[in-house]
């Protein structure tokens, strides 16, 4: 399944409904710029290894490009293009004045030492220095990249341009220009939206069972937020396996187990389950927080959850979307559900450029004030057009993008 084909099909579906100007559709059907580079890294054993690096700058109608860099062995150009397109949509959904971009390196970062990882991060910035910058393109962390990698990149860029330029990337450590609330932002944004959906359906959190696929930053923080709010988290998955407990997990203990054992798979008292069993669980809320294309036409029919919160990017294929909509499953789409991350990234960039730093309370207040109106606009569009929330989110975003494109052209 090609993630970029999926993205273009989503564009086409929403564009048809609102009879979007053909020129706007044409502009949004291809990225503005695609950059590729071979990244040479001298390994600890003295050998030279070349890694393939990408940066896709999709659309800048609403502002500078914004989007993460992922270090993953399965990174390819189509995936990066799709993610860059979704970033353009996502920024428009939460109405922040930025465009869409994405970067990637084909690498298994777990096989690199700390010094090799640092060399790779600095080489990436050197290779793409002409096209990134605080006013042009602002990368951020993504799959298997983190605040430390962003700090190396910001430091390298600052050295290259001969002045402190912390605003070149976001998702940095607090000590190096990062924003309070950034680490939890993706999950927190998704949590706020889920709370609104639950309220709208007159459901009680304490009676709801949840399964979360992915126990990295977003998945583990979402698990903790839900656990603290009284939801019963009965199933969890990380890259090494899936576990289930009908009574619900103590998430504090699972987080500690993951920290010490590097996987949740061996958590005491948990039943190991297969991927097929995981997606067929009798639950109320499913949170995919891993990689793309996890919910497909092959398993969508098995899903019993009433609500899906897409913390991952592109976890549901278009065919699966149709099945879920038919089955009256409410899918809160990635471009809304995980937009808390880019929203607080934008706040970090604002703080860097103004040299004025906010409290955690201010960040949280501003995040809520972006997420809730976005949910309301999308719910309204879904109601008006009698469509699923993903298509509604695209309609809201495309309307905003079209206005910006037309003003500039």
pLDDT digits (tens, 9 = 90+) for 19-60: 999 999 999 999 999 999 999 999 999 999 999 999 999 999
pLDDT at 375 over 90: yes
Q: Identify any residues that bridge with 141 across adjacent strands, giving them in sequence order.
A: 69
pLDDT at 269 over 70: yes
d(CA 290, CA 213) in angstroms, rounded, equals 6
Q: What's the whole-number mean pLDDT along residues 77-89? A: 95
pLDDT digit string (tens) for 213-267? 999 889 999 999 999 999 999 999 998 999 999 999 999 999 999 999 989 999 9
Query: Which DSSP letter does residue 179 get?
Result: P
DSSP string of 127-176, one letter each residue: HHTTT-BTTTEEEEE-TT--HHHHHHHHHHHHHHHTS--GGGSSS--GGG
Residue 2 pLDDT: 84
Please answer whether residues 267 and 249 qualify as being in contact, where contact means their C-beta atoms are separated by less than 8 angstroms.
yes
Query: 134, 137, 132, 145: which is closest to 172 by C-alpha?
Result: 145
Residue 1 pLDDT: 64
pLDDT digit string (tens) for 170-199? 999 999 999 999 989 999 999 999 999 999
Residue 289 pLDDT: 96
Please answer whether residues 311 and 287 qualify as being in contact, where contact means their C-beta atoms are separated by less than 8 angstroms.
yes
State both tokens at 281.
């669980």
pLDDT at 313 over 90: no
Its pTM stands at: 0.92
Residue 292 pLDDT: 85
Residue 22 pLDDT: 95
Mean confidence (pLDDT) of the chain: 95
pLDDT at 324 over 80: yes
- Our CA angle for 74, 75, 77, nearest 5°, is 135
Please answer whether residues 58 and 71 qualify as being in contact, where contact means their C-beta atoms are separated by less than 8 angstroms.
no
Residue 143 pLDDT: 86
d(CA 310, CA 11) in angstroms, rounded, equals 18
First to last CA, the chain: 34
Q: Identify any residues that bridge with 56 across adjacent strands, giving them in sequence order.
A: 34, 102
Backbone angles phi, psi at 109, to 5 degrees: -65, -20
State both tokens at 351.
């703080």
pLDDT band for 291, please (50, 70, 90 cuts). Answer: confident
pLDDT at 409 over 80: no
pLDDT band for 408, please (50, 70, 90 cuts). Answer: confident
Q: Is residue 262 among the annotated active site residues? A: no
Residue 303 pLDDT: 97
Domains of the chain, first to last: 19-165 (3.40.50.10860), 183-337 (3.40.50.720)
Please answer whether residues 82 and 58 qualify as being in contact, where contact means their C-beta atoms are separated by less than 8 angstroms.
no
% the chain with pLDDT above 90: 94
Q: Of residues 90, 102, 180, 232, which has the active-site annotation?
A: 102
């Amino acid at each position: 399944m090609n993630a970029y084909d999926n993205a273009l099909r989503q564009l086409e579906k929403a564009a048809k409904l609102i009879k979007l100007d053909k020129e706007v559709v044409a502009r949004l059907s291809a990225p503005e710029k695609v950059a590729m580079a071979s990244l040479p890294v001298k390994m600890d054993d003295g050998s030279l290894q070349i890694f393939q690096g990408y940066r896709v700058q999709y659309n800048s109608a609403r502002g500078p490009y914004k989007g993460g860099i992922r270090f993953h062995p399965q990174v390819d150009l189509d995936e990066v293009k799709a993610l860059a397109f979704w970033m353009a949509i996502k920024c428009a959904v939460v109405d922040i004045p930025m465009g869409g971009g994405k970067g990637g390196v084909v690498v298994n970062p777990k096989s690199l030492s700390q010094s090799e990882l640092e060399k790779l991060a600095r080489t990436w910035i050197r290779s793409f220095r002409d096209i990134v910058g605080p006013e042009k393109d602002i990368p951020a962390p993504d799959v298997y990249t983190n605040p430390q990698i962003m700090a190396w990149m910001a430091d390298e860029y600052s050295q290259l341009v001969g002045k402190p330029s912390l605003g070149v990337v976001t998702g940095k450590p607090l000590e190096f220009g990062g924003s309070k609330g950034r680490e939890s932002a993706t999950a927190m944004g998704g949590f706020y939206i889920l709370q609104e959906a639950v309220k709208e359906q007159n459901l009680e959190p304490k009676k709801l069972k949840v399964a979360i696929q992915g126990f990295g930053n977003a998945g583990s923080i979402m698990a903790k937020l839900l656990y603290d709010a009284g939801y019963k988290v009965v199933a969890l998955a990380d890259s090494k396996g899936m576990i289930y407990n009908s009574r619900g997990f103590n998430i504090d203990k699972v987080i500690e187990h993951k920290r010490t054992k590097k996987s949740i798979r061996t958590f005491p008292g948990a039943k190991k389950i297969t991927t097929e069993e995981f997606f067929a669980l009798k639950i109320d809320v499913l949170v995919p927080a891993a990689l793309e294309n996890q919910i497909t036409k092959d398993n969508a029919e098995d899903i019993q959850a009433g609500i899906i919160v897409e913390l991952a990017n592109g976890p549901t294929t278009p065919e699966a979307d149709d099945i879920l909509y038919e089955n009256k499953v409410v899918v809160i789409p990635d471009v809304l559900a995980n937009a808390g991350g880019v929203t607080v990234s934008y706040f970090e960039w604002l703080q860097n450029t103004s040299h004025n730093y906010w409290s955690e309370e201010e960040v949280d207040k501003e995040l809520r004030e972006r997420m809730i109106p976005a949910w309301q606009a999308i719910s309204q569009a879904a109601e008006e057009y009698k469509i699923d929330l993903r298509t509604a989110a695209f309609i809201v975003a495309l309307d905003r993008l079209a206005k910006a494109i037309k003003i500039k052209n």
